[in-house]
Structure 1
């Protein structure tokens, strides 16, 4: 397998991760973390870069990627969890988020419009084009995607260099949520990129690509996967750190609602209207190709699992759902995402860790069942807590667990459950 193809695979994986929606979170981290910028961005990188890298490796250790990993717990659980993951990186969150970013950074600022009606008009046009491209994939999409990501990175690099030469670093008080635990706050903010969840779905794409290019054995496949993942991880880390730094140093007087507004203001301050228009056009195209790719991925998965509905039927369904949610507005989309991601991430993290553990120490059915069951219970209660549904007596009991105040109370119980399940399986094996 040629080194050139591994490099190309790394760029491809980076492109899969780097949906335009990921532009909006790092600037917010930089602006809100203030003088705690370094620990905050370190925590953010852990969940938005390092964890996805581990997820890619864990996918290489499984025959069929996410579905195979999750079915080690139970076939029904595997199907349900894989479906939830695809829906979350598709029509219920990632797709409307990307469309909303396209509206905020492109359509809205280029035409200087705002309000519900312009958003509705934009979403009809945007998703109409998305549907046509999704059900009639052509070489045009590959061509645009091939040149679009480099163009976006070049524009971002120019923006960062100009910001470095223009803006002046000054002390800044952190927002309240970053004052007590900036590292862990950054860790949770990394959830919203959804990179780790997306890695569970994207992993099989990279694995199949490496196999088609000559990876004939497990060792060669793992080597190619690790190198591919490293290339993508380095690219993501560089982009995230750069964007967060812009948010940290950009001067502003009025309150800013989200990272999209930060980038709009920064591009206007640094390049004027013409520069911000160019930036908006490129981001809009990036959002479009991202949505086409996600529609294809989700439609293909559900058509393979539930073939009674055609791929075009799924594509149309997901287009309609995505368009409806887009019209809620970017801030509303970001706010309702918290319960969903709070539920998915503990399960995904445990699944990734167990898959890596199994590779070195051997498999265990009970290890998966016990650990995932515990993680699911904690994740479900955390999701309910996002809606202010809590039980005081249960909170008192859970408060004795390590990292409870930081939202990571599930870690020790899940670890203990995995150890118990693994030990029980090993004893049964010895006694047979």
Structure 2
């Protein structure tokens, strides 16, 4: 029995995990929080990296702790029906509803549209059709997934980013602007919430299952050894993500030297950065970065979600058929455009993230299988998560004056307060019983 992965096997697994996480949202939002955080960049980056780096790795570990690849096991102690509903909603959000269509729409808007110089509807439709045909083909050929993601696309992506970051670092001295909006008074909490937009925690359960399967195929056996291997692969992927997030945020904060005005996302900041430092070739370099990043995430998500839905729906459809349906729905929704996809996703993420954070923490901290702790925690967290979703959708919340008395509620973290209380009650109940 093998006890650990050799380095030459660990690195490709880590790069696959990294490349699966790193996609449209990871390029889209860090430049914006850097631009808005200004001189508070470091503390805002710390908050962003907790939700964008640390929590996704916890999600991978949560799957490893269960020892299986059925995602419902993560939430099964609450209730099987609850587990299936929550994991289905999470998979749909990170899959064909928001995350996958966003990769196509974003790569088109920033990587293709500037080269075409026109805004015809059929151009996005044609591009997204080719984009998802390629994504489906690679995702449907497992032997090619590791080859494309780990050996070709990911190194090419890192080279493109390295060129851009080197130019930024060699620029005149770093003089960030003044913090704006919530980044002035609560930069950490604002950065924490911005990390939701990457959707990486939601994806971590899917990618965790795929990583666990890959590690098993390499001969690693035993729960402790599998957890250790997942942790090592996760830490390498996390280090790459954190470095890239910081430099993207740095580029955004530094952009005050040549940019002014308001931005709804980081796309315009990325374009301006490329033109500022790479001149005429900036658009081509930026296009390569974005298309590669989005493709790697799209391929990884289609493969992982098809595998999970194949299990969730009792193998009524083949993995290939599931992958085709995911790719088809993603293609249809991608044609709504980037702005609409981002707008629709925010309320759903504000609902799902508290639920998934609580589930990951309960599993990682050793409460897996404890129905009393899970139920006392998750039912109340789910209720508060619904409230957060309503607030994000600008829908009036019943009895909000009462809810406002919960510590951290006004900052959007009331769910964390009740999660701690619920877990404590569950532990006491379990000990007494």
Give the 3 Å change call, closer, same or farther, for CA 205–121 of structure 1 in structure 2. closer
Paired with 2:380 and 2:142, the residues of 1 have a C-alpha distance of: 45
Unaligned runs of 5+ in 2: none
Describe the SS at the equivalent of 1:341: helix
Residue 17 of structure 1 is matched in structure 2 by 21
The question of 1:376 aligning with 2:379 is answered no
Residue 358 of structure 1 is matched in structure 2 by 366
Residue 226 of structure 1 is matched in structure 2 by 231
Paired with 1:43 and 1:181, the residues of 2 have a C-alpha distance of: 10
The question of 1:123 aligning with 2:136 is answered no
Match of 2:148 among 144, 150, 153: 144
CA contact (8 A) 2:20 2:296 kept: no
Residue 332 of structure 1 is matched in structure 2 by 340
Paired with 2:292 and 2:242, the residues of 1 have a C-alpha distance of: 22
Paired with 1:284 and 1:375, the residues of 2 have a C-alpha distance of: 37
Residue 199 of structure 1 is matched in structure 2 by 204
Moved more, 188-197 or 123-132: 123-132
Describe the SS at the equivalent of 1:199: helix
CA contact (8 A) 1:59 1:200 kept: yes
Paired with 2:132 and 2:233, the residues of 1 have a C-alpha distance of: 32
CA contact (8 A) 2:380 2:418 kept: yes
Paired with 1:138 and 1:76, the residues of 2 have a C-alpha distance of: 31
Shift of 1:345: 0.8
Paired with 1:240 and 1:293, the residues of 2 have a C-alpha distance of: 20
The alignment yields a C-alpha RMSD, in angstroms, of 2.1
CA contact (8 A) 1:109 1:280 kept: no
Paired with 1:424 and 1:329, the residues of 2 have a C-alpha distance of: 49
Give the 3 Å change call, closer, same or farther, for CA 367–386 of structure 1 in structure 2. same
Match of 1:257 among 264, 271, 291: 264
Shift of 1:292: 2.5
Give the 3 Å change call, closer, same or farther, for CA 254–115 of structure 1 in structure 2. farther
Shift of 1:406: 0.8
Give the 3 Å change call, closer, same or farther, for CA 391–208 of structure 1 in structure 2. closer
Alignment of 1:284-295 (within 5 A): 284-295=291-302
Shift of 1:40: 1.0
Match of 2:49 among 20, 45, 50: 45
Paired with 1:144 and 1:363, the residues of 2 have a C-alpha distance of: 38
TM-score of the pair, normalised by structure 1:
0.92
CA contact (8 A) 1:268 1:275 kept: yes
Paired with 2:13 and 2:20, the residues of 1 have a C-alpha distance of: 10
Give the 3 Å change call, closer, same or farther, for CA 366–56 of structure 1 in structure 2. same
Moved more, 157-166 or 322-331: 322-331
Paired with 1:384 and 1:337, the residues of 2 have a C-alpha distance of: 13
Match of 1:60 among 50, 59, 64: 64
Shift of 1:203: 1.2
Shift of 1:3: 2.9
CA contact (8 A) 1:148 1:282 kept: no
Paired with 1:133 and 1:302, the residues of 2 have a C-alpha distance of: 18
Match of 1:302 among 299, 309, 312: 309
Give the 3 Å change call, closer, same or farther, for CA 200–382 of structure 1 in structure 2. same
Give the 3 Å change call, closer, same or farther, for CA 2–310 of structure 1 in structure 2. closer
Paired with 1:134 and 1:391, the residues of 2 have a C-alpha distance of: 42
Give the 3 Å change call, closer, same or farther, for CA 199–32 of structure 1 in structure 2. same
Unaligned runs of 5+ in 1: none
Match of 1:36 among 23, 34, 40: 40
The question of 1:271 aligning with 2:278 is answered yes
Match of 1:92 among 97, 100, 113: 97
CA contact (8 A) 2:350 2:389 kept: yes
CA contact (8 A) 1:18 1:236 kept: yes
Shift of 1:243: 0.8
Paired with 2:366 and 2:377, the residues of 1 have a C-alpha distance of: 13
Residue 398 of structure 1 is matched in structure 2 by 403
Shift of 1:140: 4.9
Residue 391 of structure 2 is matched in structure 1 by 385
Q: Deviations over 1:328-352 (max 9, x none)?
A: 2212211221111111111111111
Describe the SS at the equivalent of 1:118: helix
Paired with 1:139 and 1:275, the residues of 2 have a C-alpha distance of: 34
CA contact (8 A) 2:15 2:154 kept: no
Aligned length, in residue pairs: 424
